[in-house]
Structure 1
Amino acid sequence: METALIIGGTRFIGRYTVEEFRDAGYDVTTFNRGRHDDPFADDDSVSQVTGDRRERDALERAHETVDPDVVVDCVAYFPADVRTATDVFADSTYVYVSSGAAYGVDRTPKREGETPLTDCSPEQAMTDSTETYGPRKAEGDRVVFAAAEAGVRAMSVRPTVVYGPHDYTERFAYWIDRVDSYDRIVVPQDGLSLWQMVYVEDVASALRTVAEEGTAGEAYNVGDEHAPTLAEWIDLLVETCATDVETVGASARELATEGIEPTDFPIYRRPPHLLSTAKLRGLGWSATDHATALDRTVAEHRASGRTGRDHGPDRTVERSLIERLDE
């Protein structure tokens, strides 16, 4: 039986990655600080090693304990972390969870090896902020490529925005809550924003696919094979939630009357963000259909108590805007 070490493994992408490898017959161990509830605490088929992934000694202990065939790094947020991990696990297959935010040019679609990555200054490489997230992920990719050149079987997977059950970011939860709770909701700019999403289970299956079939030194985009606009996402959610919702389109000027702007709404983006998934599909990967993905996502959302309401305009403001537009 092959062994897999999942760095992270308890919250969102990590927990589904554990399930993906476990269900595929791997002997799975998670490596994390143990600060979050462990969904596998009662699962005898999943082991845990505790430690801080930013400490080399802790990674070396995990390597010695597990001797993994595959390492999936779900929580490498700094290039230095990737550099240390590819060194410590140089005798393993190493898969780095990067991001579509690593791309530095707005092209539609963005393609691996063709669309340039964003630059990362030494200062950005050490700064934990939203603004430096993309540059840090891009620099992590470059570390992976360098490791592969040195003989490590290291690869990168670049998800776009991830949704699904147990999504603690609550970005998508905002829209589920709106569709599930109200009969009229505001959609910025008539809902024409296109920001490709990806279902969390598909990210997990992509990570295993790349670990098993990928080529060292390569990066692989992962995203839903069909990328709905924001308005189309709302239509899909209306169907899943079995509700009746009227969307009220509002221009940037109309939103400004209530002191808000389009980017205050989750998953709104200009210009479009779309990743080509042809390279990953060439390895045999495929995406879950939206009906199945949303059924699972909405069911967990309703049971979770999460609303996402703090991640977008307040309902009072939204109601005031709707009333203004009705005049």
Structure 2
Amino acid sequence: MTKAFVIGGTRFIGRHLIEELLTHGDDVTIFNRGRHENPFADEPDVDHVTGDRTDRESLEDAAQAVAPDIVFDMVAYHPGAVEHATRVFADADAYVYVSSGAAYAAEEVPKREGETPLEPCSPAQATDDMPETYGNRKAAGDRAVFEAAEQGVNAMAVRPPIVYGPHDYTERLAYWLHRIENEERIVVPGDGTNLWQRAYVEDVARGLRLVAKRGTPGEAYNVGDRNAVTLDRMVELAARALETDVDVVHASNRELSVADLDAEAFPLYRPYPHLLSTAKIAALGWDSTPVETAMARTVTDFQESSRTGIENGPDRDAEERVLAVLDTL
């Protein structure tokens, strides 16, 4: 039985990863602060060690006590944390760092591992917590993985774009699901062809495990929906899963300005296409869930929850002001 050590994460990606590991008969130890409900509290094959990964001694003590075969680092947000973890778990069969598609610096379509440049990261950026430097810090974490691999550590990185699916506490997609479920007409920024690839959470979990088992040390692997959909297509899939109809009204920045909005005020909108090549992880035997199935599962979870995502985008009053103006044109 493989001993897996998951640093952080019982809320979303980590929760699905643990379910994936259990499905394959792995023994799991969770290491986190214990600030959120543990859905695996009654699972005999899941142990829980309470600790803060920013406390280096705490992480070192847990590593010595557990002696894991494979390690998944879900909450490393600074390169120093990755550097330390790769030293602590230098003898593990695999250390897998959860990076991000935000680590890429160039607007290439698609973005490819080892080809598309990564974001730079200054010493000041490496230690701050600003959202604007998230990609810089993730890229620096990737470089720490590569350097560790050069020293003989079996370290690898996985780069997903925005992740969605059941238990998504970020509620970015929930904003759209709530609108579609409750309104007959909604505003979609731009012309609806905006393309920001997403990754279904169960596929990310499966990819993490495959990289740990079959990946090559020193490599990074993109993981995302292989059928990337536009914003309009996402709305269409969501409406179908919600068994409703919605009238989509497109609005330019000029039209949105009547409510003091712009396109980027809406979640999951990006002005330039963001698409990651997934050929490399597919070569390990990975594939993604059909987007229709992924959306249906996401919607079922949404309807069983109290999530609305309304704080992630424009309020309905602002949207109605835009609709009113567009009706006069």
Pair in the same fold by TM > 0.5: yes
Partner of 2:234: 233
Partner of 2:296: 295
Measure the CA separation in 2 of the matches of 1:146 and 1:223: 25
1:41 Cα deviation from its structure 2 partner: 1.1
Partner of 1:24: 24
Partner of 1:42: 42
Partner of 1:223: 224
Measure the CA separation in 1 of the matches of 2:246 and 2:47: 45
Q: 1:9-54 deviations in whole A, cap 9, x for unaligned?
A: 3111111111111111111110001111111112122110110101
Partner of 2:163: 162
Measure the CA separation in 1 of the matches of 2:42 and 2:288: 30
Partner of 2:67: 67
Measure the CA separation in 2 of the matches of 1:199 and 1:264: 23
* Secondary structure of 1:210's aligned partner: helix
TM-score (norm 1): 0.99
Which sits farther off after the overlay, 56-65 or 232-241? 56-65
Partner of 2:281: 280
* Secondary structure of 2:19's aligned partner: helix
* Secondary structure of 1:225's aligned partner: coil
Partner of 2:320: 319
Q: What count of residue pairs does the alignment treat as equivalent?
A: 327
CA contact (8 A) 1:8 1:31 kept: yes
How do 1:1-327 and structure 2 match up within 5 A? 1-92=1-92, 93-327=94-328
* Secondary structure of 1:123's aligned partner: helix
In structure 2, the gaps of 5 or more residues are none
Letter in 1 for 2:243: A
Letter in 2 for 1:274: L
CA contact (8 A) 2:222 2:281 kept: yes
Measure the CA separation in 1 of the matches of 2:221 and 2:8: 20
1:296 Cα deviation from its structure 2 partner: 1.2
Q: 1:253-276 deviations in whole A, cap 9, x for unaligned?
A: 000111000000001001100000
Runs of at least 4 residues of structure 1 off by over 2 A?
none
1:96 Cα deviation from its structure 2 partner: 0.1
Letter in 2 for 1:64: Q
Measure the CA separation in 2 of the matches of 1:226 and 1:291: 10
In structure 1, the gaps of 5 or more residues are none
Measure the CA separation in 1 of the matches of 2:58 and 2:205: 25
Letter in 2 for 1:208: R
Measure the CA separation in 2 of the matches of 1:59 and 1:302: 38
TM-score (norm 2): 0.98
Letter in 2 for 1:259: D
1:146 Cα deviation from its structure 2 partner: 0.3
Measure the CA separation in 2 of the matches of 1:241 and 1:258: 28
Measure the CA separation in 1 of the matches of 2:125 and 2:224: 26
CA contact (8 A) 1:9 1:18 kept: no
Letter in 2 for 1:119: P
**Identical positions, percent:** 58
Measure the CA separation in 2 of the matches of 1:210 and 1:142: 17
Measure the CA separation in 1 of the matches of 2:310 and 2:264: 15
* Secondary structure of 2:16's aligned partner: helix
Measure the CA separation in 1 of the matches of 2:149 and 2:271: 35
CA contact (8 A) 1:222 1:277 kept: yes
Letter in 2 for 1:124: Q
